[in-house]
Amino acid sequence: MEVSQKPLKRSIFIFTLVFITLLCVVLSVVSYKAYTNSLYKSYDKRMLDIINYVDTHIDIEDLSECVETKVESEKFKVLFAFMDSIMEDFDIHYLYIIAPAYENGSPVIMNVISADTAYGRETDPDGYYLGLILEGVYDIENAQLYLDMMEKDDISYFKNFSSWGYDYTALQPLINSKGEHFAGLCVDIEVDDVQRAIRNYTIINIVLIVFLGGMFITLFLIWMNQNVMEPISKLEKAVVSFAKRSHDQSNPDLLKFEDPHIHTHNEVESLSDAVNQMSEDMQTYVKNILDAEGKVEDMKNQVTQMDVVAHQDALTHVKNKAWYDKVQERVNEDIANGKARFGIIMADLNNLKKINDNYGHEHGNDYIFGACHQICLIFDHSPVFRIGGDEFVVLLENKDYENRKELISQMKSAFELSSKDESKEPWGRYSTAIGVAIYDSASDKCMNDVFKRADENMYKDKVASKMARE
């Protein structure tokens, strides 16, 4: 029996490992995207709150005039100081107001207010003043991006590059009473900070998912090993061993399934119990079959013995008249089918009455038995029938039919020599009249036609033999 090419334990382990790996990857990707969206939404909310808070402290018309004249008013200075305090209180990268515009056909950005912390003011006391064109800070593409965002009516969120870094920006357009978008209030958060938070969360999340996945694989494989794989392995070994022992086994006592004693309280235990019960039923079934075969064999022997008794001559042990009649049916079928090729020898013993009268029937039986034995020795490939007290028939077929002339000649010579052998007792000097007939499809319609001709020829031989003795 071939060993399984894909052990169940290995298949389950590989499938579980692949499944958990894919699950971890999917959960990690989903978690990453969900957290990223959630984090950006939280930053959007945070920056929106700051912008709304600062916006409540802006005098739009005064600030619009300051941007236009590039002269700082008292309200402008108060707003400036207020925005610096926001930088101290909130963890943001930049808080500023700018006025994007076109100059000589190219987008430029003019500084209005750039808030800073107290530490920043100490290290850079001049800072950025009102009306300063921020050359070299923004490239044309990012300057255009600010212009586009400022033209909108609502707050916009976008990422931009500048000499200050890579930031995530919220821009609130400032609109004066004339409907002019004269400036934009902006809050920046460093993208690196956002990405760092996402990266840290993702790493922690992946580690947790992998840990839980590893724990699940370990616990699942332990459970599977105890409740499925190990019991199935024991059951497989027991079944394979039973199959090897049972192959060509004639002794039902050896058809015994070794119970692996599985107690998992699940389908595996039920399967083991079913196989065990099946082996016991098989053992009982085989015993019943063998018992039945023994009885059938005894009956066959009895029938064979009865058939032998019914079709065998009790004295000579050759076939009797009843068997001759059965053979005659078969030969007649061959004649009807055009397949017949046979001959018949009719032998009638001479001097049997004389032996019985002078020496008794016991020696008469010896005479019959010895003459029959002589016939059987010569025609050892042909059936010999005793159809009467001293009458025998030989059915010549196959090899003896082909060699009939030589065999008939041997028969005549043997009986002639035996009848003249004075060294033997009278009942040992066998003599017989012989008649031979060969089947002729042109004239013979049945086996009995051939028999009659053989009988006639035998009678002629007997008459000729008597006349020769007289």
- The token pair at 214 is 């590893």
Q: Average pLDDT in the 47-75 region?
A: 93
- How long, in residues, is the chain? 470
- Under DSSP, is residue 7 helix (H, G, I), strand (E, B) or coil? coil
- Under DSSP, is residue 381 helix (H, G, I), strand (E, B) or coil? coil
Supply the CATH classification number for the domain 1-236.
3.30.450.20
- Under DSSP, is residue 339 helix (H, G, I), strand (E, B) or coil? coil
- Gap between the Cα atoms of 221 and 21, Å rounded: 15
The closest alpha carbon to 90, from 48, 130, 60, belongs to 48
Comma-separated ranges of CATH 3.30.450.20 domains in the chain: 1-236
pLDDT in tens, 371-418: 999 999 999 888 999 998 899 999 999 999 999 999 999 999 999 998
How deeply is 18 buried, as exposed, middle or buried, from its count of CB atoms within 10 A (0-12, 13-18, 19+)? exposed
pLDDT score at 305: 55
pLDDT above 60: residue 1: no
Q: Are 323 and 422 in contact (CB under 8 A)?
A: no
Residue 98: count of CB within 10 angstroms of its CB: 25
Q: Which residues of 402-435 are buried (b: 16+ CB within 10 A; e: fewer)?
A: eebeebbeebeebbeebeeeeeeeebebbbbbbb
Q: For residue 225, give Cα distances in angstroms to 16, 24, 221, 222, 266.
A: 13, 23, 6, 5, 13
pLDDT above 80: residue 82: yes
pLDDT above 70: residue 350: yes
Share of the chain above pLDDT 90, in %: 43
pLDDT in tens, 189-248: 988 877 787 788 778 878 887 888 788 778 877 877 777 777 777 776 777 776 776 666
pLDDT in tens, 286-304: 667 766 666 666 556 554 4
Distance of CA 29 to the CA centre of its chain: 36
The closest alpha carbon to 194, from 46, 53, 24, belongs to 46
- Residue 445 pLDDT class (50, 70, 90 cuts): very high
- Gap between the Cα atoms of 321 and 450, Å rounded: 16
For the domain made up of 319-469, give the CATH fold.
Alpha-Beta Plaits (3.30.70)
Q: Which residues of 172-203 are buried (b: 16+ CB within 10 A; e: fewer)?
A: bbbebeeeebbbbbbbbbbbeebeeebeebbe
- Gap between the Cα atoms of 116 and 188, Å rounded: 12
- The token pair at 347 is 């032998």
